[in-house]
Structure 1
């Protein structure tokens, strides 16, 4: 099984280490992880981020068996 991991933890260096060393290994004990943070955009404009978002949705639709969502905000996005 493949799981797409949806989380905000790849945005900041302060959470990236925890994401890589704790969260992903925990999930990998059970399923193959599709990590969206391994693909970084090559530009910084809105078109780049829209293309990246479309690629992520395509990955979820065609490759993932499930989505692991980390919702730690109040209220969740």
Structure 2
């Protein structure tokens, strides 16, 4: 069996209880069918954050999380970004921009019914431009995202 491409999964889903459930039970398993998932939410343990906060080192842990995520992005060839929300999450958008600049192929998932960004695009025009320039595209369902990732050579 051919080695599956490494795919960084950019999303704000880990911030809420409902998001964490969907992320762990639906989203990641679907992606794992076709790519090697690189999950930034698993790179830092809750106790690390709690200890840093207790010690007054919030900035240190925040920058460490950013460093870990940066390394994880650099270890991949693909990015799958969840772009739901009235506005796409700022951290997710930054990860797309960074990954696109590195030459990774980026895909966005936008299932949200609300208008986001400028007329004629699914999200902010620059985010969509980065995704398209990377060779990826924005899709409207998880199933379509899985198919798009699989088509990259998985």
The two structures share one fold, judged by TM-score above 0.5: yes
Structure 2 residue 59 is the aligned partner of structure 1 residue 46:
yes
Shift of 1:60: 0.6
Aligned length: 76
Give the alignment's TM-score, normalised by structure 1: 0.87
Return the index of the structure with the highest Cα Rg. 2
Larger RCO: 1 or 2 (CA < 8 Å, sep 6+): 1
Larger helix percent: 2
Kindly provide the CA deviation profile for residues 9-68 of structure 1, in whole angstroms up to 9, marking residues without a partner as x: 11122211111010001101110100111122512302211111111011111x111111
Q: Which residue of 2 aligns with 1:59?
A: 72
> 1:47 aligns to what SS in structure 2?
helix
Q: Which runs of 5+ in 2 are unaligned?
A: 91-154
Structure 2 residue 87 is the aligned partner of structure 1 residue 75:
yes
Shift of 1:74: 2.4
Q: Which runs of 5+ in 1 are unaligned?
A: none
Give the alignment's TM-score, normalised by structure 2: 0.46
Deviates further, 34-43 or 24-33 = 34-43
Kindly report the root-mean-square deviation, in angstroms, between the aligned alpha carbons of the 2 structures: 1.3
Shift of 1:75: 2.6
Deviates further, 35-44 or 2-11 = 35-44
